[in-house]
């Protein structure tokens, strides 16, 4: 409202001015200046053109006036700013002093986190003028013949062997044959180079394998993801000594060693760098002789694969109090590899992660003495542990959790589409009711977005990127969308999703979601602190340059960055305002056909975002780090632009299938709407209300103009998965759907295909038999029999309906148990020695 009123006032003032001064030339002048700012002409070119324009404008009647006087003053200022020594003395140097006071303090670990990884498409989104040509030019990720064969062969076989209920409920572990298969076929060696016996898969192939395994079971995917993610193999690959690589990598590739990586402890969770675990450099006995080594004391928990690990990757803080290695006493966070049998290491007990009992447990060490060459990379890498971890996190975090969660979402949408088609209530497939349709549409839109984000980003990694900010965006947004899709799938299935047992293909998937939300940077922290906190400094075209110049007190560099930054902000303000007024219709983007408008919207948001970020950083400085809700909202805007870009690129990678357009449109609209809402909320909550109002005027001069996807569009998405379509096939690619006993997804698919022919026959029975009163049976088999007798359907139709109905009943059935089957086996008496526990009443007798 305020924005609209201000715009009207400005337009009236402009109209008054033009009417009074009476010149079209005024508009031409303003337009030309705005155009130069919009196009970001170099400062000197801008100043020269401004001089020529103003000289010409001065002679247009009336020749003088306050307005033109002001413009001449401005021109004088522009020329003065061209004299660099002068502007450095008058502006840059004093500003540098103030900036140094404003600069937020930063720990060494924060600096290392900021330096980790590369800046990719995230950097473009910070420019206010992203060059989509760059994104579109990048190669579409593809599987090699060998990778495809692995997915069609060993992956398929592993899924066939895997029995989720048996594993999660009865055994609380995978049977030895599944473990052996995983190890012997190289599932734990996807990232290990071939020369060490690994599979050396691309990031994309690695991700696709996890997607497929996750569609079969969360436990299977989690177990496979960990050795291929942040852990000993990855760290050895990049930082290990030749000796360490030659020793460990072939053994890890063959599955002779099972790794885990232990960072988290009872006192150090999200703030992992504050770990209290120590490694003291000292002399001790090792294999019968005295050496200089490390005495380790640690207490870790939540460590995946720890209970069965044969080698522990350990993070600890290293100290050298007696200066045996040099003159530094506190060497910092260090990573070492500790073999399982090392005296003092306590390992083997398990945690119980939400009924999805993958191997996860605590481990601790008391005065564990190891040689210095257990440090990954050898003694020279002492103190480099945090850098190693954050560097590798920038890659691993893009793959493991996003892929596992996408696999879970694909399973959810694949099953829900089919189930909502075969499950009838009120004489209709439940998927045809508007309420269910809306939920299915969200599932489809989210799953497409998740799939796009994980595959395009994996493609970027294969192209040489280590995208650290996108890895945080994927971690947060893909797992949050996955949480929503898992809940939606449960809702669509009603009671069928809730009753656990071998027939339930959703329950464990639903239970495992919080694991993905919590690990590798718990989600609240990732949203509030990491995405924007890291992005603002890493991706901004000028901030890191300014900070580095300030830290080294380099006035020259600071001056260049500062004036570049000022021009950048002014340009973004103009671009934001112009694109908001024109709804970005004239914004130049690549010629991409039907999706062009979404590219334009992203460019508009990029300019608005960049402008808002600059004003926030300038006015709030280091305080912005504490205002987590503001940072989180800016992170959301950045993420929405990123996710929408991934959707568009994914659509291109797939060859722009026209039938996918409704999903692409839904996904982009959803992201643009979210970007708008988050940016608007950011401005409404801006601490300085006046400044917030001015920003709203420039960014949303006509108010908010994006809407959430329409119901009509949603219906198209739901239809795509309620039928056996190519769209459904593409969306659910890699879902394990083989038709075989023990895989309800195969049967669901078969029933879905049959539903398409069964429904018209069922309708005939209803219309010609039930509604006319000729058919009196209430149950389906009885109705089929009567319809056949009455000649409403043929023999063949009756047979196919019976077959279809049998399959539907098989799918609708849920499991039931005797109480003893549900109780955990081998349990100790619950209330302590001597007490008896009644499984019937739940009471201690
Ligand atoms: C199943 C499972 C497997 C795991 N596997 C491993 C493993 O293999 N190796 C390993 O080292 N670790 C592992 N972890 C540990 C995991 O990384 C941690 O659980 C995670 O870092 C969060 O720590 P925490 O659980 O102690 O939560 P806390 O740090 O106690 O956080 C509690 C809540 O506060 C929020 N929060 C904290 N600080 C902030 C902040 N500044 N701003 C906003 N919000 C904040 C968090 O987001 C979270 O929601 C695993 C955990 C689980 C559950």
- Rounded average pLDDT over 447-465: 97
| Tens digit of each residue's pLDDT (9 = 90 or more) over 412-445 | 999 999 999 999 999 899 999 999 999 999 999 9
Q: Which two tokens stand for residue 163?
A: 């029995």
Mean pLDDT over each residue of the chain, to the nearest integer: 92
- Rounded average pLDDT over 484-506: 97
Contact present, 319 and 281 (Cβ < 8 Å): yes
Residue 651's Cα: distance from chain center in Å? Answer: 18
Contacts of 240 (CB under 8 A, 6+ apart): 248, 249, 376, 377
Q: Whose CA is nearest to atom 6 of ligand 1?
A: 303
- Rounded average pLDDT over 480-490: 98
Residue 348 to residue 308: CA distance in whole angstroms = 7
Residue 836 has what pLDDT?
45
Predicted TM-score of the model (pTM): 0.93
Q: Which two tokens stand for residue 496?
A: 């069928």
Contact present, 449 and 667 (Cβ < 8 Å): yes
26 confidence band (pLDDT: 50, 70, 90): confident
Contact present, 214 and 403 (Cβ < 8 Å): yes
What ligand 1 atom has the least distance to the C-alpha of 524? 47
Residue 71 has what pLDDT?
86
- The yes-or-no verdict on residue 485 having pLDDT over 50 is yes
Q: Which residue has the tokens 């009443």?
A: 841
Residue 826 has what pLDDT?
56
19 confidence band (pLDDT: 50, 70, 90): low
Nearest Cα to Cα of residue 666 among 452, 345, 812:
452
Phi/psi for 13 (5° steps) reads: -60, -40
Contacts of 262 (CB under 8 A, 6+ apart): 298, 300, 303, 306, 312, 313, 314, 315, 363
- Torsion sign across C-alpha atoms 764, 768, 769, 773: positive
Percent of the chain exceeding pLDDT 90 equals: 81
- Torsion sign across C-alpha atoms 657, 658, 659, 664: positive
Nearest Cα to Cα of residue 174 among 404, 408, 359:
359
| Tens digit of each residue's pLDDT (9 = 90 or more) over 611-627 | 999 999 888 887 888 89
Task: Mean pLDDT check: name the lowest of 9-13, 18-22, 63-67.
Answer: 18-22
Residue 334 to residue 314: CA distance in whole angstroms = 8
Q: Is 818 a catalytic residue?
A: no
Distance 521 CA to ligand 1 centre (A): 6
Ligand 1: which residues within 6 Å by Cβ? 261-264, 269-270, 302-304, 353, 360, 515, 518-519, 522, 524-525, 528-529, 628
Q: Which two tokens stand for residue 266?
A: 């009872």
Contacts of 72 (CB under 8 A, 6+ apart): 54, 58
Contacts of 619 (CB under 8 A, 6+ apart): 688, 691
Percent of the chain exceeding pLDDT 70 equals: 94
- Rounded average pLDDT over 648-668: 98
Residue 812 to residue 801: CA distance in whole angstroms = 16
8 confidence band (pLDDT: 50, 70, 90): low
Residue 704 to residue 678: CA distance in whole angstroms = 11
Q: Whose CA is nearest to atom 40 of ligand 1?
A: 525
Nearest Cα to Cα of residue 197 among 151, 256, 156:
256
Residue 845 has what pLDDT?
34
| Tens digit of each residue's pLDDT (9 = 90 or more) over 175-190 | 999 999 999 999 999 9
Residue 111 has what pLDDT?
77
- The yes-or-no verdict on residue 352 having pLDDT over 60 is yes
Three-state DSSP at 267 gives coil
* DSSP E strands, 598-689: none
- Rounded average pLDDT over 133-145: 96
Residue 168 to residue 160: CA distance in whole angstroms = 16
Q: Which two tokens stand for residue 188?
A: 């734990």
The CA-atom distances, in angstroms, between 487 and each of 420, 478, 506 are 15, 14, 10
Nearest Cα to Cα of residue 334 among 247, 263, 252:
263
Q: Which residue has the tokens 């449960």?
A: 490
Residue 623 to residue 429: CA distance in whole angstroms = 54
Residue 20 has what pLDDT?
60
Give me the catalytic one of 110, 257, 437, 520.
Answer: 520
| Tens digit of each residue's pLDDT (9 = 90 or more) over 27-43 | 788 888 888 899 889 88
- The yes-or-no verdict on residue 758 having pLDDT over 80 is yes
Q: Whose CA is nearest to atom 43 of ligand 1?
A: 525
Q: Whose CA is nearest to atom 11 of ligand 1?
A: 263
Contact present, 643 and 477 (Cβ < 8 Å): yes
- Rounded average pLDDT over 672-693: 96
| Tens digit of each residue's pLDDT (9 = 90 or more) over 783-823 | 999 999 999 999 999 999 999 999 999 999 999 999 988 88
Distance 108 CA to ligand 1 centre (A): 21
Q: Whose CA is nearest to atom 16 of ligand 1?
A: 519
Residue 127 has what pLDDT?
95
54 confidence band (pLDDT: 50, 70, 90): confident
Nearest Cα to Cα of residue 497 among 511, 517, 484, 516:
511
232 confidence band (pLDDT: 50, 70, 90): confident
- The yes-or-no verdict on residue 832 having pLDDT over 70 is no
Q: Which two tokens stand for residue 736?
A: 């394990």
Q: Which residue has the tokens 């050895």?
A: 236
- Rounded average pLDDT over 616-641: 92
Q: Which of 302, 475, 630 to mutate to test the pocket of ligand 1 (most atoms within 8 A of CB)?
A: 302
1 confidence band (pLDDT: 50, 70, 90): very low
Contacts of 790 (CB under 8 A, 6+ apart): 768, 769, 774, 775
């Amino acid at each position: 409202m305020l924005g609209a009123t201000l715009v009207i006032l400005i337009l009236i003032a402009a109209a008054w001015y033009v009417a009074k001064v009476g010149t079209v030339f005024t508009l031409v002048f303003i337009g030309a200046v705005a155009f130069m700012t919009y196009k970001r002409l170099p400062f000197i070119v801008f100043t020269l053109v401004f001089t020529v324009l103003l000289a010409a404008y001065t002679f247009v009647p009336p020749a003088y006036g306050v307005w033109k006087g002001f413009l001449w003053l401005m021109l004088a200022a522009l020329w003065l700013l061209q004299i660099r020594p002068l502007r450095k003395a008058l502006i840059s140097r004093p500003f540098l002093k103030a900036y140094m006071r404003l600069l937020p303090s930063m720990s060494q670990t924060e600096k290392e986190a900021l330096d980790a990884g590369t800046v990719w498409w995230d950097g473009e989104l910070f420019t206010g003028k992203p060059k989509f040509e760059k994104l579109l030019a990048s190669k579409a990720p593809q599987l090699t013949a060998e990778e495809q064969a692995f997915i069609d062969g060993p992956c398929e076989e592993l899924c066939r062997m895997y029995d989720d209920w048996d594993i999660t409920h009865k055994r609380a572990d995978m049977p030895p044959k599944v473990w052996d298969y995983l190890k012997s076929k190289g599932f734990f060696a996807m990232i290990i180079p071939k020369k060490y016996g690994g599979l050396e898969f691309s990031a994309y192939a690695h991700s696709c394998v996890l997607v497929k395994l996750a569609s079969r079971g969360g436990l299977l995917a989690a177990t496979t993801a960990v050795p291929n993610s942040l852990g000993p193999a990855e760290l050895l690959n990049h930082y290990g000594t030749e000796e360490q690589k030659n020793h460990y990598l072939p053994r890890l590739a063959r599955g002779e060693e099972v790794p885990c990586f232990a960072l988290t402890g009872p006192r150090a969770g999200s703030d992992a760098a504050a770990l209290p675990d120590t490694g003291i450099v000292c002399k001790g006995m090792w294999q019968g002789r005295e050496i200089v080594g490390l005495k380790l004391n640690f207490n870790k928990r939540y460590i995946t694969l720890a209970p069965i690990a044969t080698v522990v990757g350990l993070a600890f803080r290293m100290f050298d109090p007696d200066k045996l290695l040099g003159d530094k006493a506190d060497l910092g966070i260090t990573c070492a590899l500790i073999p399982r049998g090392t005296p003092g290491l306590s390992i083997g007990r398990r945690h119980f992660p939400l009924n999805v009992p993958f191997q996860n447990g605590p481990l601790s060490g008391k005065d564990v003495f190891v040689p210095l060459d257990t440090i990954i990379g050898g003694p020279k890498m002492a103190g480099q542990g945090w850098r190693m971890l954050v560097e590798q996190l920038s890659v691993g975090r893009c793959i493991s959790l996003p892929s596992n969660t996408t696999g879970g979402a694909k399973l959810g949408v694949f099953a829900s589409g089919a189930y909502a088609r075969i499950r009838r209530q009120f004489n209709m497939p439940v998927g045809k009711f508007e309420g269910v349709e809306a939920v299915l549409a969200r599932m489809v839109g989210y799953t497409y977005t998740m799939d796009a984000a994980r595959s395009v980003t994996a493609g970027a990694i294969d192209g040489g990127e280590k995208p650290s900010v996108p890895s945080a965006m994927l971690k947060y947004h893909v797992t949050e969308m996955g949480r929503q899709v898992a809940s939606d799938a449960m809702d669509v299935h009603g009671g069928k999703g809730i009753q656990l047992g071998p027939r339930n293909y959703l329950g464990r998937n639903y239970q495992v979601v919080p694991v993905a939300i919590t690990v590798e940077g718990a989600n609240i922290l990732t949203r509030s602190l990491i995405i924007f906190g890291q992005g603002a400094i890493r991706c901004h075209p000028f901030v890191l340059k300014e900070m580095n110049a300030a830290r080294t007190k380099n006035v020259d560099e600071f001056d260049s960055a500062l004036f570049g930054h000022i021009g950048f902000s002014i340009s973004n303000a103009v671009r934001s305002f112009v694109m908001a007024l024109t709804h970005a219709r004239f914004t130049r983007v690549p010629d991409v056909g039907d999706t062009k408008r979404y590219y334009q919207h992203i460019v508009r948001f990029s300019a608005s975002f960049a402008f808002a970020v600059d004003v926030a950083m300038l006015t709030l400085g280091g305080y912005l780090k504490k205002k987590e809700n503001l940072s989180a909202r800016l992170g959301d805007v950045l993420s929405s632009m990123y996710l929408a870009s991934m959707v568009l690129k994914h659509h291109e990678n797939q060859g722009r299938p026209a039938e996918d357009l409704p999903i692409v449109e839904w996904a982009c609209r959803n992201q643009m709407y979210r970007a708008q809402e988050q940016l608007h909320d950011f401005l409404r909550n801006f601490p300085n209300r006046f400044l917030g109002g001015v920003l709203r005027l420039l960014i949303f001069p006509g108010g908010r103009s994006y809407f959430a996807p329409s119901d009509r569009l949603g219906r198209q998405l739901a239809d795509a998965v309620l039928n056996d379509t190519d769209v459904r096939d593409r969306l659910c690619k890699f879902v394990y759907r083989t038709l075989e006993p023990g895989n309800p997804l195969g049967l669901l698919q078969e029933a879905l295909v049959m539903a398409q022919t069964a429904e018209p026959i069922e309708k005939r029975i209803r219309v010609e038999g039930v509604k006319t009163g000729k058919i009196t049976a209430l149950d389906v088999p009885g109705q089929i029999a009567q319809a056949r007798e009455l000649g409403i359907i043929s023999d063949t139709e009756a047979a196919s309906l019976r077959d279809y109905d049998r399959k539907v009943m098989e799918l609708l059935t849920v499991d039931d148990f005797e109480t003893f089957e549900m109780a955990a086996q081998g349990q100790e008496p619950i209330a302590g020695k001597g007490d008896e526990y009644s499984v019937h009443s739940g009471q201690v007798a």
